[in-house]
Amino acid sequence: MEDNFYYNQKNNRPFRVVVAHPGRQHSFELATALEQKGVLYKYITTVYDKEKSLTSFVKKFLRGKDLKKANGRRCKSIDDSKVIQLCEGWGLLFLLIQRILKSQALANRFCRFYNSVFSKKVGQYLSREDIDAIIMFDSTAEEAFAILKKNRPDIFRIQDVSIATRHYMKHNFENDYGLHELKKEFPEFWDDRVMKGYKNEIEDSQFFLVASVMSKNSLKFCGVNEDLVSIIPYGVNHNQFSYKPSNRDHESSLRIIYVGQVTYRKGIHHLLNVVSRFNSSEVDVYLAGGYEEDGSLYTKYKDVNNIHFLGFVTRDELAKEYQEADVFCFPTIGEGYGLVVLEALSCGVPVISSDLAGGNDAIIEGKNGFVVKAGDDNELEDRIRWCINHRDELANMRSFSHSTALEYTWEKYHENVARVTINAIKNYQSKEE
């Protein structure tokens, strides 16, 4: 009976679904879910550690963290025969540019160009294929969906929304005191031509996969019918991000961990502003993520003695950073889900999250953390002060934090996303008959 659900009776074959992403994000998990049900037709990407690929050649010259990153560009559950690489050279160039460009805005500009080239190639490639649906990700699907809408309207177009819509983020940015710097990071949000492209991408999508209520709300903000949106929370690797009871001395300063890029979009200016109000005997914050050495956030706070910039931390080192923390703080003002919230909870670390994190769906107030209004420094300060004054209660929240995370598994995601996807395709095809 289960097999019949994933079988296209009309065409006398299993359903055929393509997943396309120029990067990675959680696309490996999505592709794995469809492969397990026998409906993944192809996985299309750029940089991928496939035998005889340019990526595998370049990897021979890499060492350390760069090599670890390259080794992660491969999905063990998908046979190489199902992986199609398009624009691989552009993908490798983009990764290089990310390393050497100091300007986030310039990196974003090249990323849009790179996504556009990839998207066109995907649309042209799929125009010749016998498939039922294509799943692409926000900001990468505009050109492909436009081509398929014109040439292959029979192919169902699904957008996986991994981040809040750009229009919704712009709306939130305009209410933030870091607006000036946010405009530097994302000048395209105030470029009508670029924003029209994002709008076209949404309008040409026929169904949406999201991981959080916040992401769904961001689509509704753009006029999308909520019946076309399905919420499927992500999972977390509990083996990698394992629980460890705290042995922290409650007399020491409160250790806060943040994981992610040190940017205004992530709301770091709010966290650093608040932490700088405390002295080092009360609070220390550790920022695990890349930062610009000449950026305003680093230059302003690098000499503050209770603020520590760790730089990029590999995933195998990340669990230790979580486990050594008393609390994880994620003050983002522009997210889609924020897997880091689940990673912290899985390690047993209570979370202070903004209400724009997406991952805040997993927070049970006062039990495994707290949700604060994004951009409200006073509320964030109050919650940090509570943590300082209630160290015993905070420590007791660790086991509940871990048990909450256990409800979020990639196995559940695989099962749910595969069934939702095929059900949406069936509904579409039945309406077209």
pLDDT number for residue 71: 79
* pLDDT, average across residues 63-67: 77
Better-scored residue on pLDDT, 243 or 99: 243
Contact 343, 259 (CB under 8 A): yes
Give, for 349, the enclosing helix (H) or strand (E): none
Q: For 253-387, list the strands marked E by DSSP.
A: 254-259, 283-288, 307-311, 327-330, 351-354, 369-372
Q: Where residue 2 falls among pLDDT bands split at 50, 70, 90?
A: low
- 3 has a pLDDT exceeding 80: no
Higher pLDDT, 362 or 312: 362
Mean pLDDT confidence for 353-376: 97
* Contacts by 243-251, CB closer than 8 A, 24 or more apart: 243/346, 243/347, 243/348, 243/398, 243/399, 243/402, 244/323, 244/347, 244/348, 245/348, 245/398, 245/399, 246/323, 246/326, 246/348, 246/395, 246/398, 248/324, 248/326, 248/395, 250/391, 250/392, 250/395
Dihedral sign computed on CA atoms, order 45, 50, 52, 56: positive
296-312 pLDDT per residue, tens? 999 999 999 999 999 98
DSSP H stretches of helix in 262-360: 268-275, 296-301, 315-323, 339-346
Predicted confidence at residue 433, as pLDDT, reads 67
- Residue pair 114/22 in contact (Cβ under 8 Å)? The answer is yes
Residue 330 has pLDDT above 80, yes or no: yes
Share of the chain above pLDDT 90, in %: 81
- pLDDT at position 336 is 83
User: Please, are residues 221 and 250 in contact by the beta-carbon 8 Å criterion?
Assistant: no
Q: How many CA atoms lie within 13 A of 403 on its CB side?
A: 8
SS3 assignment, position 152? coil
Please give the Cα distance from 321 to 46 (Å, whole number): 31
pLDDT bracket for residue 76 (50, 70, 90): very high
Residue 289 DSSP class = B
Q: Are 314 and 338 in contact (CB under 8 A)?
A: no
Which pairing describes strands 327-330 and 254-259: parallel, antiparallel, or unpaired?
parallel
pLDDT tens, residue by residue, 282-292:
999 999 999 98
Residue 157 φ/ψ, nearest 5 degrees? -105, 110
Q: Strand, coil or helix: what is 357?
A: coil
Q: Is the pLDDT of residue 102 over 70?
A: no
Half-sphere exposure (Cβ direction) of 8: Cα atoms closer than 13 Å:
22
Helix 88-100 × helix 104-126 angle, to 10°: 170
User: Which SS3 state, helix, strand or coil, does residue 334 take?
Assistant: coil
Q: What are the pLDDT digits (tens) for 145-197?
A: 999 999 999 999 999 999 999 999 999 999 999 999 999 989 999 999 999 99
Is the pLDDT at 25 greater than 90, yes or no? Answer: no
pLDDT score, position 72: 81
- Say what the pLDDT of residue 344 is: 97
As a whole number, mean pLDDT of residues 192-216 equals: 97
Q: pTM for the complete prediction?
A: 0.93
Note the pLDDT of residue 1. Answer: 42
Residue among 220, 212, 85 nearest 160 (CA): 212
